Amino acid sequence: MAYLLSKENFSKIGEFIYRKSGIYLEEDKHYEKLAKYIDKRSAELGFDNFRKYFFKLRFDDKEGAEFQELMNAITVNETYFFREKDQFEVLVNRILPELHKTMPSSRPLRILSSPCSTGEEPYSIILHIVEEGSVVEQRDIEVVGIDIDSTVIEKAKAAKYTERSVHAIPKNILNKWFKKKSLGYELGEELQGTVDFQVANVFDKTQMRKLGKFDVIFSRNMLIYFDDASRKEVAMTFYDMLNPGGYVLLGHAEYMSRIVSVFKAKKIDNTLIYQK
C-alpha cells in the first residue's frame, strides 16, 4: 500500500521540519518512519491526503500542538544514566570548584542540560554533585533540563527508569538514591524535583532567552542530528546564554572547533571542554 507522503513531498516537509527544529531528515534513512507517522496522524485527524495534513501543520496550528506531536514522533531520545561518565567527573572535580571561586558568590551556579531527553543526563549531574559533595555544601546549584519533545519531559518529571537506563550506575549509588520497583527503578524522593524540566526548542530564541544565563551547558548527542548551519546557530545561542568564563560540554562525537571558533578549547584528562 502506498503512503500518503510521496517522495516529492518528503523534501517539502523535510525542509519545514529543518527550518523549525534544525533536525535534518534524509530520504533514504527517514522516509519510511515519517510516512508511517503521517498515515497514522492523518487517519486520526480524518484526512485522506498529505496536502490536508501539511496545511494543518503550517497554517492551522496556532498553539503549536500539531508540530509538537510531529516532534514527539520523530526525535531520537536514546540516553542513559552516567553516559560518557568522564564528563560528569570533570564537572564536579574541576569545573564546579573553579567556577565556585571565579563566579560571584552571591548567586547560584547554573547548569543547563540541553537536550535532556528523559532526564538521565541532568540527574546524572545531580548524582555526581551530591556524591562529590564539596561544592554543593557551600553553594546553591541549579540544574535545568530542556528538550523539544514534550513526552520525554513528562517522563523526566515522573523519574521512573528501566533497568537498561540505570545499567551504568554503580550499585552502591543506585541503591542509595533509587527505589527498586516491580518494573525498573524510581528516583528517590530526596532528589525528585531537583531538576527544573521544561519543553523548549533550541532554535526558539524567545524560549531560550527566558531560561536565563548559565555557567555550564551540556549539549550532548543532539548536534549530530543537525547540519552545519544549524549547529553554528545553536553554538552561538549557547555562547550568548553562557556567563563569561562558563563552559560547554558536547558529546564525544561532536567537536566545537568544527562548528564555531568563539570558544577556547581545554583538554582535561581525556575530556574536551569549551570555555567562553
Ligand X SMILES: C[S@@+](CC[C@H](N)C(=O)[O-])C[C@H]1O[C@@H](n2cnc3c(N)ncnc32)[C@H](O)[C@@H]1O
**In the complex, which residues of this chain contact ligand X (CB under 6 A)?**
21-23, 75-79, 83, 115, 117, 121, 147-149, 152, 201-203, 220-222, 225, 251
Can you name the residues that pair with 113 across neighbouring β-strands? 145, 218
Question: Given the complex with ligand X, which of 83 and 160 has the nearer CB atom?
Answer: 83
Cβ 78 to ligand X, closest distance in Å?
5
Question: Given the complex with ligand X, which of 9 and 75 has the nearer CB atom?
Answer: 75
Cβ 162 to ligand X, closest distance in Å?
14
Cβ 74 to ligand X, closest distance in Å?
9
Cβ 236 to ligand X, closest distance in Å?
14
- In angstroms, the CA 84 to CA 64 distance is 34
The span from the first CA to the last CA of the chain, in angstroms, equals 53
Question: Given the complex with ligand X, which of 3 and 88 has the nearer CB atom?
Answer: 88
Residue type at 147 in one-letter notation: D
CB-count exposure of residue 89 (10 Å: 0-12, 13-18, 19+): middle
Main-chain phi, psi angles of 3, to 5 degrees: -85, 160
CB 204 within 8 A of CB 211: no
Question: Given the complex with ligand X, which of 41 and 83 has the nearer CB atom?
Answer: 83
Chain centroid to CA 208: how far? 13
Question: Given the complex with ligand X, which of 68 and 77 has the nearer CB atom?
Answer: 77
Question: Given the complex with ligand X, which of 54 and 67 has the nearer CB atom?
Answer: 67
Question: Given the complex with ligand X, which of 3 and 155 has the nearer CB atom?
Answer: 155
Cβ 246 to ligand X, closest distance in Å?
18
- In angstroms, the CA 57 to CA 133 distance is 48
CB 211 within 8 A of CB 144: yes
Cβ 75 to ligand X, closest distance in Å?
3
Cβ 26 to ligand X, closest distance in Å?
15
